[in-house]
Amino acid sequence: MSRTDYGDVERGDVVVPGRPVKVHRYSGGARVNHWLTAICLVLLALSGLAMFHPSLFFLSALFGGGQWTRTIHPWIGVVLFFSFFGLFVRFWSANLWRRDDSRWIAQANDVVAGREERLPEVGKYNAGQKLVFWSMSILIIILIASGLVIWNEYFGSFTSIQLQRWALLVHAIAAVVAICVWVVHVYAAIWVKGTIGAMTRGTVTGGWAWRHHRKWLRELVSMQKGKRTETTTHSS
């Protein structure tokens, strides 16, 4: 079977029989990549807010003062960009929008009420997770682009004051939206029990996968059965 036959299955996804059944959802590399990105986002939010308004300047003490905050902030942004790029390469294909995702969004009331049995079967990521993924992808591009324009130490001589002012406004708006998206992401991870454990341990139970991501589990089981059949055929 080709990779395209199982659009929601990523490398490393495996069902392990047992009591309970365990499903490998995230590899060790993916988890390290995710948490590095998360740490960068938190540090950027704190250092950015310290420079955003005088009432929040006390946050600069976390970074050694105002000068250090101003110096460190853009470098953390560079690390975030490359770290998120790693996540993008890993996860983009499973986050492609599908027809069932539009139906899932249209039944938002059932999502909030926890009536998952009424929803379309979900692949590895539901429509909400996909919206977060693509929103952050766009926002991080905007943040890195506008951030380079206002990074005077290295790029100040290549831009005008007027362009820097516009870039600063765009950067601030994108940062606020990114923080809001991040808060929604964290809230959803806490709300759906087992989600955080999946990104710390890398595995979920078969029951969890069946309840929350049934289409993904079906594809994964089908793929493994197909591989076993091919192995048996070749060995005969």
DSSP-assigned letter for residue 124: S
Residues sharing a CB contact under 8 Å with residue 212, sequence separation 6 or more, in sequence order: 116, 122, 126, 192, 194
Contact 222, 13 (CB under 8 A): no
Residue with tokens 């590899």: 27
Mark whether 53 is an active-site residue. Answer: no
Q: What are phi and psi for residue 24, nearest 5 degrees?
A: -75, 115
- Angle (CA) 162-163-167 rounded to 5° is 120
Coil, helix or strand at residue 96? coil
Give the full edge-to-edge strand order of the sheet including 203-205: 14-16, 22-24, 203-205
Stated length of the chain: 236
Q: Which of 46, 86, 75, 66 is nearest to 153 (CA)?
A: 75
Of residues 73, 171, 185, 212, which has the active-site annotation? 185
Active-site residue set: 185
